[in-house]
Amino acid sequence: MLRYILHRLLMTVPTALLVALAVFVLLRLVPGDPAQLMLGDTATEETLAELRAQLGLDQPIAMQFLYWLGNVAVGDLGRSITNDLPVLPLIFDRFQVSASIVIVAVVLATLVAVPAGMLAAWRQNSLGDLLIVGGATMLLSIPSFWLGLLMLLFFGVKLGWLPVVGYVSFGEDFGRALAYVILPIATLTLIEIGVITRMARAATIEVLRLEYITHARAKGVPEGRVLWRHALPNAFAPTWTLLGLILGNLLGGIAVIETVFTLPGLGRLLVDGIFARDYPVVQGCLLFVAIMYVLVNLLVDLLYPVFDPRVAAE
Amino acid sequence: MRRAALALSLIASPLLLPAAAVAQEPGVLRVALNADIRTNDPGVNRDGNTDAVMMHVLEGLVGLTEKGDVAPLLAEKIDVSPDGKAYTFVLRDGLVFHNGQPVTAEDVAWTWKRYLDPATKWRCQSEFGGKGQTRIEAVEVTGPRTVVFRIDKPTALFLSMTARPDCGGSAILHKDSVDADGKWKGPIATGPFKFGEWKRGQYVELERFAGYRSLPGPRDGYVGGKKVEVERVRFLVIPDPAATKAALLAGSIDVAPDVSADDLEELKRRGDITVDMAPTMSVSGFLLQTTDPLLQDVRIRRAIAHAIDTAEITAGVTKGTGTPNASVIPVPSSYYSAKQKERAKADPALARKLLAEAGYRGQPIKILTNKRYGPMFDAAVLGQAMLQQVGVNAEIEVLEWATQLDRYLKGNYQMMSFSYSARLDAALNFEMMSGPKATQPRKVWDNPEALKLLSEAMVSADRAKRQERFDRLHGMFLADVPMLVLYNGVDISATGPRVKGYKGWAAGQPRLWGVTLQ
């Protein structure tokens, strides 16, 4: 097992290198000058040239890449062009915000969606199935920014129950922090419920068609036990893989939700960085996201045998 | 059911209380900001939001009035030597910094020494260091409150450049703003607010400065009376305009300084929201590339000018709030004379005639625009329709803003929907678009005669002479059509029911002195 983990971790290195190279090259191919964006249209040719030199943008691109990579190797992702802050602490600060929303939302969505998907599969083609599938499809189809704005207008503006803008960290004031994250968590949960429900339903339908389920039923095993003992663990395994992908994806930032609810998360940092052509921030964020994606999926793979012992045997 | 509702409300009550607390914090004026500030070091790595916040904290020797003219701020008196190369500033008596220390001529000299040091990375260093309009040769302290600036050559722009908000107003700072190694700590300045807590990506807070010595009189741009009526101002970072509107309606913010014209009618209809509109000094229009094989023919450029109905586009883009203006000198400027009001009349027949004379045969003309700034996109769409009406094969290409800016910088376009940020001196308005394209491809207007007139207007301090130069420049500008100026921006702001006294102005930036909370 340890060998397997080490092997997977080592595989992260070439992945990260490829991501670093791709991000660096692609960013430089996109038109747009960070110096011009920083100085605006009042800049003169002299001030632009000076700023480019200060930012090291006058160096050949290959040199810029090697310099950046050398610093990355020792854990230095550079400093933001727009605010001169070190990138790594900036990413960690913002990641905490995104992670606190994403993890809670995915857990909540799983708790609701997996039983709902199983129920729909168990009662396939019934009215209940239709309602669950219809609801899941609707949630899946709603754009997150629209749902977020609706929630904001209804619970924030119309009812005035929850704050509309702002953010307080949990370390600062737990009660207030909770008030600020309820709406984003609820929005993300609802969106993810749609995805997970459909996956859980499809996986359960597959399992319920297998012979051992028929066998269990033929033996006279109660239906509840058939579902929870035989169907759930096997149906949950593919859903677990999907959860890994969803989590890895969302931990990279939920830019739209963060923008609507004014959360200082990783997604917003990345989007702002792209708009400002803040190369160190964008490079750092994408590298971080790629590594996070690999690690989350490694964790999911390692936990897979818990749900499907056949994998461990293999 | 009733029990369930009660239980739910009990569970939810601790969560709901903070929302109410956010909505009704006494003495705190909450203002929306669409992005975080970049730094609190004056004129170093700034943008519009940074200026919006920092100009409440900072004050320089001079400042800008409501009409964009320069007036004394920390200075009580300004004398200019007959040769125009020495400016003597006498500081107002009794001025103190945010740390309680008196403001002296030594502080002025120290501040400017720091600004002129390239290590400070002050964005206006090159302007005063010899690469721009002037070079400061010496800053001499000649008395406890008197300081003399010696410059290499006379210029009419010395004071107005000193007052530029993007230079941080060349604010005078206390030495303790930096540490022993000269590293920036934070602004200890003289403005009506002190810099408070800054939570990056969330909010910036300013505190009322009790020791502030306001100038007499009413509010006037960045000078005039600055009476602070609130204890604190909190600028909340809200990137999404829809969220800003929701926050205003919910009472979570008090001031939305930059409201879209699309929301104007809805906000006006509500009884609890006050909407304010003020023309600004930004300049919007279509840039026409005079080196383009097709557009280098002035008849085609003139045809475009006559095809486009400036008044109609202005009404459409600004939802009736803007004033059409074909001059690069903005309407609020004190140099906006009767001559500056002249513009090419919308005349489709004349446009068709000019196109025929130029031998136009339906070659495509591409209008570059973006969707980050809605008015630029709307203007491009309307402009395209008007050009098509006279037979011009106009196409639109939508770019990401940074890409469009890059194309502007390189002069790589035929026609571009564009906006220039506010310049507060009429000469700078012409300067922003005039220059030799061979060395400065971003420049729009390359006319040697115009450049000569402009350089005269930049040197002369004689107001009548400057006005005459600007009026002649406008006539030449209309004839050359390097740009089709459409309108000046409108600063639309909205305030909640607690706020009284908020007023927008030509710089398009919020001013939170003179504003009360009820």
User: Per-residue pLDDT tens for B310-335?
Assistant: 999 999 999 888 889 999 999 988 89
User: What does the pLDDT read at residue A313?
Assistant: 55
Contacts of A67 (CB under 8 A, 6+ apart): A56, A59
Looking at beta carbons, which residues of chain A come within 8 Å of B240?
Answer: 259-260, 262
Angle at B187 between CA B186 and CA B191, to 5 degrees: 155
A310 phi and psi, to 5 degrees? -60, -30
Pair (B375, B321) in one structural domain: yes
Contacts of A295 (CB under 8 A, 6+ apart): A12
Looking at beta carbons, which residues of chain A come within 8 Å of B243?
Answer: 149, 152, 164-165, 259-262
Looking at beta carbons, which residues of chain A come within 8 Å of B19?
Answer: 156, 160-163, 179
Q: Indicate which of A30, A33, A36, A41 best probes the interface with B, i.e. most B CBs within 10 Å of its own CB.
A: A41
Pair (B378, B472) in one structural domain: yes
Domain span at B472: 281-488
Which residues of B, range 165-204, sit inside 8 Å of A by Cβ?
A: 166, 200-203
Angstroms from B290 CA to nearest CA on chain A = 19
User: What does the pLDDT read at residue A63?
Assistant: 86
User: What does the pLDDT read at residue B1?
Assistant: 41
Quote the mean pLDDT of chain A: 87
> Measured between alpha carbons, how far is B5 from B11 in angstroms, rounded to an integer?
10
C-beta separation of B58 from B501 below 8 A? no
Pair (B458, B503) in one structural domain: no
Pair (B206, B288) in one structural domain: no
Pair (B502, B392) in one structural domain: no
Partner residue opposite B406 with nearest CB, options A31, A84, A160:
A31
Comparing B78 with A46, the larger pLDDT belongs to B78
Query: Among the residues of B72-123, which ranges form H helices?
Result: 105-116
User: What does the pLDDT read at residue A183?
Assistant: 94
Closest by CA position to A232, among listed A307, A136, A130:
A307
Question: Chain B within 8 Å of A164 (Cβ-Cβ)?
Answer: yes
Which runs of E-coded beta strand occur in B316-392? 364-370
Pair (B223, B286) in one structural domain: no
Asked if the structure places residue B7 within a domain, the reply is no
Angstroms from A274 CA to nearest CA on chain B = 9
Mean pLDDT of A131-155: 92
The size of the A-B interface in CB pairs under 8 A is 154
Looking at beta carbons, which residues of chain A come within 8 Å of B253?
Answer: 165
For the segment A259-293, what is each residue's pLDDT rounded down to a tens digit?
Answer: 889 899 999 999 888 888 888 899 999 999 988 88
Q: What is the separation of C-alpha A157 from the centre of its chain, rounded to a whole number of angstroms?
A: 28
Asked if the structure places residue B13 within a domain, the reply is no
Pair (B332, B197) in one structural domain: no
Residue B503 DSSP label = -
> Which segments in chain B show pLDDT lower than 50?
1-23
User: What does the pLDDT read at residue B297?
Assistant: 97
Asked if the structure places residue B254 within a domain, the reply is no
Q: Indicate which of A30, A33, A42 best probes the interface with B, i.e. most B CBs within 10 Å of its own CB.
A: A42
SS3 letters for B132-181? CCCEEEEEEEEECCEEEEEECCCCCCHHHHHCCHHHHHHCCCCHHHECCC
- DSSP H/E element including A24: helix A2-29
A117 phi and psi, to 5 degrees? -65, -40
Pair (B367, B424) in one structural domain: yes
User: What does the pLDDT read at residue B51?
Assistant: 93
Comparing B296 with A28, the larger pLDDT belongs to B296
Asked if the structure places residue B151 within a domain, the reply is yes
What is the pairing mode between strands B146-151 and B136-143?
Answer: antiparallel
Domain total in chain B:
2
Looking at beta carbons, which residues of chain A come within 8 Å of B438?
Answer: none
Looking at beta carbons, which residues of chain B come within 8 Å of A178?
Answer: 15
Whichever domain contains B208, its CATH number is: 3.40.190.10
Pair (B465, B509) in one structural domain: no
Asked if the structure places residue B354 within a domain, the reply is yes
Looking at beta carbons, which residues of chain A come within 8 Å of B401?
Answer: 275
Asked if the structure places residue B163 within a domain, the reply is yes
CB B242 to CB A149 under 8 A? yes
pLDDT above 80 (res A121):
yes
Pair (B500, B423) in one structural domain: no
Asked if the structure places residue B19 within a domain, the reply is no
Asked if the structure places residue B273 within a domain, the reply is no
Pair (B343, B470) in one structural domain: yes
User: What does the pLDDT read at residue B330?
Assistant: 93
Pair (B188, B322) in one structural domain: no
Question: Chain B within 8 Å of A33 (Cβ-Cβ)?
Answer: yes
Taken as a whole, chain A contains a residue count of 314
User: What does the pLDDT read at residue B5?
Assistant: 44
Question: Chain B within 8 Å of A13 (Cβ-Cβ)?
Answer: no
